[in-house]
């Protein structure tokens, strides 16, 4: 398992430690002048212990802070798509690495949608439900979403046009981007896949039994990612979005859409972590 390496948090901790060292030097010089002679070594020991405690707390805090602009992925996509649908990481663990993303559940049991730290399953019967922390996933992509920029769209006639609208705003096509689309969908065609049994089929064979939902005139949010061509095989290149209606009544993997109006937010991803089962 590859661990997150919070470089920005380490920098914070190092700066904090440097400042504490300066403070310790000042206190030491102050003591050497004899002002606190009566207290002697006991005061020095007490202050040193306090400083060490503060440093340890700061280091722990910096280590546990989430790293922004980092995508955490469970399993390479080509490995998952070959039929490796057995969950290998719990949603409790997954939530430590992000509050926004997409994926599935153990046995390819429906579609996963995550936003604002809430994780939902859209099973093949189409009724969304929150995911328990002990549930497992064989594949997921997740990040702590923080919008870098946002823009408005209107009268988007298709999924392809939605992709073009987003393409026109991307700084480049070499990076990964987290994408959030919130608005009014005149049409949203989504799908979900029923839970599979062992021996597991390939993903291509599994989706032959998908359930398709035709949603009309819904307020909804679509979340997902853009992956560049250079990541072919490691993940699903291009756009991969899952949708959930704002009233939590329907959703799934987004196949097609017509959007009356929406706000699109983009978060450029700078770091990538892959969990290999």
Does the pLDDT of residue 253 top 70, yes or no? yes
In angstroms, rounded to a whole number, what is the distance separating the alpha carbons of residues 16 and 6?
15
In angstroms, rounded to a whole number, what is the distance separating the alpha carbons of residues 114 and 102?
6
pLDDT digits (tens, 9 = 90+) for 96-142: 999 999 999 999 999 999 999 999 999 999 999 999 999 999 999 99
Sign of CA dihedral 207, 211, 216, 218: negative
Sign of CA dihedral 171, 173, 178, 180: positive
In angstroms, rounded to a whole number, what is the distance separating the alpha carbons of residues 235 and 229?
9
User: Using an 8 Å Cβ cutoff, are 94 and 126 in contact?
Assistant: no
pLDDT at 62: 41
More confident residue, 43 or 222: 222
In angstroms, rounded to a whole number, what is the distance separating the alpha carbons of residues 211 and 90?
26
In angstroms, rounded to a whole number, what is the distance separating the alpha carbons of residues 239 and 210?
19
Please tell me whether the overall predicted TM-score, pTM, comes out greater than 0.85 for this model.
no
pLDDT digits (tens, 9 = 90+) for 24-79: 555 555 555 555 555 555 555 555 555 555 544 444 444 445 577 999 999 999 99
Per DSSP (E only), the strands in 28-117 are: 70-74, 89-90, 100-104, 111-115
pLDDT at 68: 77
Tokens 């006639």 correspond to: 157
Which strands, in side-by-side order, build the sheet including 118-122?
Answer: 129-130, 118-122, 111-115, 100-104, 140-143, 70-74, 271-275
**Assigned fold of 70-275:** 60s Ribosomal Protein L30; Chain: A; (3.30.1330)
């Amino acid at each position: 398992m590859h661990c997150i390496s919070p470089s920005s948090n380490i920098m914070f901790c190092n700066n904090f430690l440097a400042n504490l060292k300066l403070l310790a030097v000042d206190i030491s010089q102050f003591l050497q002048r004899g002002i606190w002679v009566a207290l002697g070594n006991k005061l020095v020991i007490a202050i040193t212990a306090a400083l060490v405690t503060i440093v340890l707390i700061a280091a722990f805090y910096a280590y546990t802070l989430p790293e922004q602009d980092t995508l955490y992925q469970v399993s390479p996509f080509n490995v998952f798509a070959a039929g490796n649908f057995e969950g290998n990481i719990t949603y409790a663990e997954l939530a430590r690495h992000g509050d926004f993303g997409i994926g599935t559940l153990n046995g390819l049991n429906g579609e996963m949608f995550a936003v604002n730290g809430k994780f939902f399953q859209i099973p093949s019967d189409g009724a969304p439900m929150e995911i328990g922390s002990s549930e497992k996933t064989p594949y997921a992509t997740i990040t702590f979403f923080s919008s870098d920029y946002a823009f408005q769209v209107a009268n988007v006639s298709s999924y392809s046009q939605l992709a073009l609208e987003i393409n026109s705003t991307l700084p480049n096509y070499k990076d990964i981007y987290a994408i959030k689309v919130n608005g009014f969908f005149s049409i949203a065609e989504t799908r979900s896949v029923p839970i599979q049994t062992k021996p597991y089929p390939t993903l291509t064979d599994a989706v032959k039994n998908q359930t398709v939902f035709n949603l009309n005139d819904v307020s909804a949010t679509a979340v997902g990612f853009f992956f560049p061509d250079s990541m072919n095989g490691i993940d699903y290149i291009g756009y991969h979005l899952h949708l959930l209606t704002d009233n939590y009544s329907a959703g799934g993997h987004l196949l097609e859409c017509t959007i009356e109006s929406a706000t699109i937010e983009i978060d450029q991803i700078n770091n990538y972590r892959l969990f290999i089962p």
